[in-house]
Amino acid sequence: MDEIKNENQSTNQSANEAGGQGGGRRRRRKRHKNGNHQNAAPAQATQQAQQAQQAQVVQQNAKKQNQNQNQNQNQSQNAKKQKPPKSNGGNNHSSSNNGNKQNEKSKRKDTYLYALDGNLYVNLTNKCSNGCDFCVRNERESYYGHYLWLQHGDPTAEKVMAVVTGGQAGNMSQYKEAVFCGFGEPTYKMSEMLHLCDFFHARGLKTRLNTNGQGNLINKRDITPDLKDKIDLVNISLNASCAEKYQPMCRSQFGESAFAAIIEFAKLCRKNGVNCRFSIVDCIGEEEIEACKRLAESVHVPLYIRKYITDSGE
């Protein structure tokens, strides 16, 4: 009985030991599993931290890139604002020359009186009611070296007289006539012209008016009585034998009615005792010249045929 009891005890002890050992292994495996779970948590946190750091770096780089782009755009805009004008090669040189010419013009004194062919010419205005194809002022700055474009306005009679009294026009005895003729129509300046007629007569000069014959239209009245005893000869530019030929060539601001007014002006000059004549240029053709002769004879006004000026000596 004791031996059986001892065997049972020994068996139970072995079983307990075996059970204890088996339980120990299960606990160790459980602890091992728990240990792996605990180790995974820090790794996951580390990975998340790294991802967050990487995202922050990406954001910072993007921010820097945007700042650089804005800075480059600002620099480009500033450069455009401060960029000097492009060089156009010869064009800049041409612009410079044009600027110099304009400066020279602005500094140049206006020409009120000029000598030509033994006469003293008076330049009172640049206004004209015509735009004649053959006018000597077309595309010209000067006329035989005389700059007749008035940069500082029409002169008063006093300014013209000051040129004479100041000796700039020379001795009056060298001239045959004082001729009212420049780069404009003198009858725009009736008051100044009549005042100067007395001035030149007092110095022994005869006076002549070169006109387009539209003075009555310009002044809206008959000016011919005012010319008597003031103008010694009125030269009226006829230029054509009829209105249909006159207007396309002379382009009066008064249209085709201008030609009839010219003929009437000549008649009124004769009526009021003012010496007058028609004039034409010799380039209008023989047929037209003959037609102008017949017209002049019909109104009892002499006709003067002058040479067309091709070179003004610019």
106 band by pLDDT with thresholds 50, 70 and 90: low
What's the confidence (pLDDT) of residue 145? 86
What's the confidence (pLDDT) of residue 137? 87
What's the confidence (pLDDT) of residue 87? 38
Taking residues 106-117, report their average pLDDT: 89
pTM: 0.67
Tell me the C-alpha distance between 219 and 189, whole Å: 10
- Note the pLDDT tens digit of each residue in 58-78: 566 555 555 655 555 555 554
143 band by pLDDT with thresholds 50, 70 and 90: confident
What's the confidence (pLDDT) of residue 63? 59
Tell me the C-alpha distance between 227 and 94, whole Å: 48
What's the confidence (pLDDT) of residue 155? 97
What single string gives the DSSP state of each residue in the chain? -HHHHHHHHHHHHHHHHHHHHHHHHHHHHHHHHHHHHHHHHHHHHHHHHHHHHHHHHHHHHHHHHHHHHHHHHHHHHHHHHHPPPPP-THHHHHHHHHHHHHHHHHHSPP--EEEETTEEEE---S--S---TT-TTTT-S-BTTB--S-SS-PPPHHHHHHHHHTTTT--GGG-SEEEE-SSS-GGGGHHHHHHHHHHHHTTT-EEEEEE-S-HHHHHTS--HHHHTTT-SEEEEE--SSSHHHHHHHH--TTTTHHHHHHHHHHHHHHHTT--EEEEEETTS-HHHHHHHHHHHHHTT--EEEE--------
More confident of the two residues 310 and 166? 166
Taking residues 284-291, report their average pLDDT: 94
What's the confidence (pLDDT) of residue 5? 43
Averaged pLDDT of the chain: 79
Report residue 128: phi and psi, to 5°. -155, 145
Token code pair at residue 266: 């000549």
Note the CATH architecture for domain 110-306.
Alpha-Beta Barrel (3.20)
